[in-house]
Structure 1
Amino acid sequence: MSTPTVTTGPLRRVPVQGRSVARVQRMLDACAELVDEVGYEGLTTTLLAERAEVAIGSVYQFFPDKRAIVQALAMRNMDAYLQDLSTRFGRETFAHWWDGVDAGIDAYISMHRSVPGFRTLHFGDVVDVHLLDAERDNNAVIAERLAELLVDQFQLMDRVRLRFALQIAVEAADALINLAFRRDPVGDEAVLVEAKALIREYLHRHVDA
């Protein structure tokens, strides 16, 4: 397993030494646990320091506030999602590019089920719809990165049209997956099946690739 990376975006200071990197990862792990337990509003830097077993000064050494910590966690989640998707693309053979989108939905569902904090935080919408990027909303960032993976994997053309369709698909899938996990803590399978069928049908009809 590769060593987790620490995104530099919201960090006040980038950790260099191994101990500092590990300390920041503990803070992000603690943040993930706490947002599931108390939500973003209940999260405090004091609680986070206690859970991560670090001094409060260590938190502020790397992060200016709790929003920056959650932003770093959201970015780590995005990196993990894209890495998982790249791995799936590398080991599986897809009959068509929208099967790759199917894999993207599966990866997103898997993170809801297995990654602490993800079901609460997603890619940061609970805090700010522009948490990943100041200019684009979080789902638009994910749709853009998914488009890049699909174009690279399947040598697709007409990227503007593709990216627009994927943004619609990502928004729809996000809403339906959230519904599935509101109905059932592990995801209502009937809703998830319908979500995948809806997205597949939409892409099949609206993007001629």
Structure 2
Amino acid sequence: MARVQRMLDACAELLDESGYSELSTTRIAERADVAIGSVYQFFPDKKAITQALGLRYLDMFSLRVTGRLSEGVFEHWTEAVDVVIDEYLDMHRNVPGFRSLHFGDTVDVRLLDSVDDNNRVIADRLRDLLTSIAGVDDSDTLDTAITVAVESADAVLKLAFRRDPDGDPLLIGEAKLLVRGYLGQHFTGNRPEIGWQG
């Protein structure tokens, strides 16, 4: 619905301008040019709006990674690591609100899901992409590997953006190296031991 999308766009703009602490349903309604009642028709409070925005970012991220992974055959599986990190970086730099919200940790570590933390939700989504697009066999080993890779990359990339608003290139490179090296313990050559079929 167009009104909801306008509210989410307004939320993203306001997050970039003044952060979550200054965000309010009133300000979102004003920026989206809708009545405050329209906001409450869909969202009980500002947290619910930021949750919807975080889920929109997750869907956008998934679509972008899916598109990149589907473009062609990689010479080596590590190129998939670069795709995932590069898409995250591009969203951080160019998608309104993402720099402030990411996938929701600034608001609540369980913003995307009431049971699992945000990184767990992202890891599940990436695991689904790898099994459906790249033909990786799903397993407990894959689940653990993706979970550790997401947590590690998240920590180093947050540090990269704390050091440089556009992301410290050295630390970005280190994040890629870290994830490749870790996954390399499970993957051998061009075919991972955990089931790469591409």
TM-score normalised by structure 1 residue count: 0.86
Aligned 8 A contact 1:28 1:73 in 2: yes
> Which ranges of structure 2 fall in alignment gaps of 5 or more residues?
188-192
State the AA in 1 paired with 2:67.
T
**Rounded Cα–Cα distance in structure 2 between residues aligned with 1:156 and 1:66:** 39
Structure 2 residue 61 is matched with structure 1 residue 81 = yes
Distance 1:194 1:173, change over 3 A: same
Taking the TM superposition and a 5 Å limit, the aligned residue runs for 1:94-113 are: 94-113=74-93
Q: State how far apart, in whole Å, the 2-side matches of 1:92 and 1:141 are.
A: 26
2:124: which partner in 1?
144
Offset, 1:96? 3.4
Q: State which drifts further: 98-107 or 190-199.
A: 98-107
The equivalent position to 1:164 in structure 2, one of 134, 137, 144, is 144
Q: Find the counterpart in structure 2 of residue 15 from structure 1.
A: none
In 2, the alpha carbon distance for the partners of 1:85 and 1:25 equals: 22
Amino acid at match of 1:106: D
Q: How many residue pairs end up in the alignment?
A: 189
Shift of 1:158: 5.3
Alignment-derived partner of residue 205 in structure 1: 185
Residue pairs, 1:23-42, within 5 angstroms: 23-42=3-22
The answer to whether the Cα contact below 8 Å between 1:130 and 1:136 also exists between their aligned partners in 2 is yes
Whether 2:45 is the aligned partner of 1:65: answer: yes
Give the residue type in structure 2 aligned to 1:100. Answer: A
Verify: 1:182 aligned to 2:168, yes or no.
no
* Identical counterparts, % of pairs: 57
Q: Please name the residue that 1:49 is paired with.
A: 29
Q: Which runs of 5+ in 1 are unaligned?
A: 1-20
Q: Contact (CA 8 Å) 1:97, 1:150: kept in 2 or not?
A: no
Cα distance in structure 2, aligned partners of 1:132 and 1:206: 29
Q: Matched residues in 2 for 1:163 and 1:95: separation?
A: 24
Give the conservation status (yes or no) of the 8 Å contact 1:97–1:154.
no
- Match among 89, 96, 99 for residue 119 of structure 1: 99
CA distance in 2, matches of 1:146, 1:30: 28
- Aligned match of 2:190: none
Q: State the one-letter code of the partner of 1:164.
A: T
Question: Judging changes above 3 Å, is the alpha-carbon distance between structure 1 residues 158 and 76 closer, same or farther for their aligned structure 2 residues?
Answer: closer
Q: Note if contact 1:100-1:150 (Cα within 8 Å) is conserved in structure 2.
A: no
- The answer to whether the 8 Å contact 1:74/1:123 transfers is yes
Runs (4 or more) in structure 1 with deviation over 4 Å come to none
Local SS of the residue matching 2:124: helix
User: What is the RMSD of the two structures over their aligned residues, measured on CA atoms?
Assistant: 1.3
Q: Which amino acid aligns with 1:150?
A: L
